[in-house]
Amino acid sequence: MNLRIYHWLSVVLLSFSATAVPKVTQHDAIPVLLRRCVICHGQDAREGGLDLRTKGAMLKGKAFVSGKPNESAMIKRIVSRQCPPDKNISMAGIERMAPRELQTLRDWIAAGAPEIIQALKPIAINPEAREHWAFQPPKRPAIPQIAKRQSQIQNPIDAFLLRKVVANKLEYSPEASKLTLLRRVTFDLTGLPPTPAEMGAFEKDTSLTAFEKVVERLLASPAYGVRWGRHWLDLAGYSDSEGKRNADMIRDHAWKYRDYVINAFNADKPYNDFLMEQIAGDELVDYSNPDAIDANVIEKLVATGFLRMAPDGTSANPVNRVEDRIEVIGDELQILAGGVMGLTMKCARCHDHKYDPISQRDYYSFAAIFKAAYDEYNWLTPQPFSNQWAGSTRRHLEVMLPNERKAMETRNAKLDTEIKQLEEQRKAEKDKKKKTELKKKTDELKAKKNEQPLIRALWDRGESSPTYVNLRGNLGSPGPLVQPALPQVFSSKPFQPARATGKNKTGNRLALARWLTQPDHPLTARVWVNRVWKHHFGRGIVSSLDNFGKLGTPPTHPELLDWLAVELVEHKWSSKHLHRLICTSTAYRQSSLNPQLSTHKPSYSRMPMRRLDAEELHDGLLAITGRLNRRLGGKPDDVQVREGGYVTGKPGEGGWRRSIYIRQRRKHMMTMLETFDLPAMNPNCVTRINSTVVQQPLFLLHDKVVHDLSRKLAAEIQKEAKGIEPVIRLAYRKIVNRPPSKEELARTIGAMEELEREFTGAKQTGQHNKALAAVCHALFNSAAFLYID
């Protein structure tokens, strides 16, 4: 008995007295039809002109005869197995109606298809739960006055941190050396090492604001957007492939979203706008008139790619079932809730959250906000596939700039003529070989014609299927019908859609985005400043980055968190403003070397040491050896899978680019990046793992690319310096961004001489170069290179 489990508690039935409640109502019948039938008889596909989503529409389409199930067209078709048609069962990812479901329909029709109006009682929220710190708007706290340490207070960050440092009877560590600081901040802000020229300029600049100038230079560099865009893309789960399936299909147009994110960081797009565009960009612009499309429209539509990043196997059957679609929606909601709101909502899919005041009804009401764009019963498939249902539609918008469109039309007209000519030629051609050649040429042209600048977007379609709570997360157990709403802990007011730009849009996601970006939203700014903080100091003020709920870690410095959150909002939501404050604080400039402090008890009385992450290692190796092509944006370069499962990038035009521009697949990740903890996006990555495993030395010692790069670097160094000590000094400067210590120099000179002897002994020529290459290779393997002080 799957019916009526819920309503005695939460539903008031208005049109019947409690004793006269019909056994089966439209809320039992419609969910069955949604699951089994509306794929062909619903919002978009309406076979036989029939819409089975409401009783009214059913009657209009003469789907049933009230009181007479056996005479109802609907039942007859199901029983005779005319519906669903056999071929659609496998193609459209639908399943035959189970006997129990058919019985529900029969019972409903037999009872005269009773309808009830269901009104949900408001969810009672425990007032104590509402008082949780993260549900209160942040207020700007007073800045602590710290006696006798004025010189250490660069900005209020230091005041908040020092108060606790001093209370713990600790002190800040002394400032790190200039070159250490330069290496740290350059990697942190751009993901690249400083160049020898930048090192020289900073060393020479003795002004008081020398470091501030460096921070400004780095924030203005396009490499900043690449680095910080990557952090956001981790959160969004950016990937150039669909995942879920063995084939891991390429996701062709996702890179535009990647470029949107990188550009947004470089332009310091206010965080509130950044969020608004990603959640509801389609509702901010009118893209209905092809002649009125401009760069702004394109940008806003591309931004919605944020909610199209989750792994999604629904292109192909048999993983395009309703359950599979619900997984995709569930992943997207969790990416948004966790990454942006710091809430774990996923558990509320099956039951009320056990610790936070998020009920199951909240979850489904929240999902209903997205329904006009993400509707499991009116699904847009990611891309075409061989065994797809003819009725399926794609989630790409053919929106382009008028000049692009014209250029494409002209190009296509030309291609059409050429194709036509070739086809005629082929018809006339007798020679089989030539015929095949002509066919090949025609296919190439046709493929070119298909190359359209599409946008993988999320867009509102004006209406949606109803949303029922799935009791215990089970699709077959529909609970109450819900309407779009925010989680009740934040607002018990009825949800008001916003006024969207353009026709036929619900404005639901826009309303959500507006609410999220209110200046006094309790979570939005806090969650973002915490994430920025984490990427500078190695851990968040709240260390559970995506859980600010009861089970999350309490903030180590709650007042600092609030101060930063308010500061962000009041400085036009500028992320670069945060970087400036953080990087120029005394805390950030501290040395990491204090031997008195254990790493087990982190405190802000020294900087943490950290390993280069996967991208810093890859991009750094290329930058240092002069092989990095700094071209930004555009289609990703391909990856290639070599023997033994070794995956490398395939450099495109202009050579190797930064790793974000190499195709990000969920399955075939570059071996180097994967070895150094690049995560597979399933669905996204909240925090990178930083492992120390034996595959890492094996890779750096034995990989041919690393070895070859070392040789190339050695050749460069030989051009710039002469003599064993000068070349070693230069190698240190380039690779570890500092001069060698006395001991290091002595050891390295000794090793270089030994290496030369070994090469000579092995009767190899060019031993000097080769020995230097081996030294560079060793330095690329050293802790001094792989770790940032």
Based on the shown chain and the rule CB under 8 A, indicate whether residue 474 belongs to the binding site for another protein: no
* 553 or 718: CB nearest another protein: 553
SS3 15: coil
Based on the shown chain and the rule CB under 8 A, indicate whether residue 127 belongs to the binding site for another protein: no
d(CA 192, CA 11): 58
d(CA 6, CA 31): 15
Strand partners, 640: 648
* 298 or 316: CB nearest another protein: 316
Based on the shown chain and the rule CB under 8 A, indicate whether residue 387 belongs to the binding site for another protein: no
Q: Which of 104, 315, 344, 585 binds another protein (CB under 8 A)?
A: 344
φ, ψ at 611 (rounded to 5°): -85, 150
Q: How far is the CB of 206 from another protein (least distance, A)?
A: 26
Q: How far is the CB of 98 from another protein (least distance, A)?
A: 5
Size of the site for another protein (CB under 8 A): 89
Element (H, E) at 255: helix 255-266
Q: Check: CB of residue 341 under 8 Å from CB of residue 524.
A: yes
Q: Which of 350, 407, 444, 650 binds another protein (CB under 8 A)?
A: 350
Q: Which of 692, 719, 723, 765 binds another protein (CB under 8 A)?
A: 692
* 524 or 547: CB nearest another protein: 547
Best CA proximity match to 186, nearest among 174, 173, 197, 195: 195
Q: Check: CB of residue 258 under 8 Å from CB of residue 252.
A: no
* 198 or 744: CB nearest another protein: 744
Q: Which of 158, 242, 268, 327 binds another protein (CB under 8 A)?
A: 327
Site for another protein in 69-88 (CB under 8 A): 86
Tokens of 235: 């959160």
Q: Which of 19, 689, 719, 722 binds another protein (CB under 8 A)?
A: 689
Q: Which stretch, 72-80, 142-150, 172-180, 673-681, contacts another protein (CB under 8 A)?
A: 673-681
Can you give the three-state secondary structure of 131-180, one letter per residue? CCHHHCCCCCCCCCCCCCCHHHCCCHHHHHHHHHHHHCCCCCCCECCHHH
SS3 657: strand
φ, ψ at 267 (rounded to 5°): -85, 0
Q: Which of 9, 18, 20, 762 binds another protein (CB under 8 A)?
A: 762
* 51 or 312: CB nearest another protein: 312
d(CA 741, CA 179): 13
Site for another protein in 283-302 (CB under 8 A): none
Based on the shown chain and the rule CB under 8 A, indicate whether residue 338 belongs to the binding site for another protein: yes
Q: Check: CB of residue 535 under 8 Å from CB of residue 112.
A: no
Q: Which stretch, 57-65, 125-133, 376-384, 737-745, contacts another protein (CB under 8 A)?
A: 737-745
Q: Check: CB of residue 49 under 8 Å from CB of residue 61.
A: yes
Based on the shown chain and the rule CB under 8 A, indicate whether residue 765 belongs to the binding site for another protein: no
d(CA 641, CA 665): 12
Based on the shown chain and the rule CB under 8 A, indicate whether residue 174 belongs to the binding site for another protein: no
Q: Which of 7, 759, 772, 788 binds another protein (CB under 8 A)?
A: 759
Q: How far is the CB of 750 from another protein (least distance, A)?
A: 8
Compute CA 352 distance to the chain's CA centroid, rounded to the nearest angstrom.
26
Q: Which of 98, 119, 267, 413 binds another protein (CB under 8 A)?
A: 98
Based on the shown chain and the rule CB under 8 A, indicate whether residue 618 belongs to the binding site for another protein: no
Helical pair 360-369 and 508-516, crossing angle rounded to 10 deg: 110
Q: How far is the CB of 572 from another protein (least distance, A)?
A: 30
Site for another protein in 521-550 (CB under 8 A): 544, 546-547, 549
Strand partners, 512: none
Q: Which of 91, 566, 774, 788 binds another protein (CB under 8 A)?
A: 774
Tokens of 285: 């612009």
Q: Which of 349, 699, 709, 734 binds another protein (CB under 8 A)?
A: 699
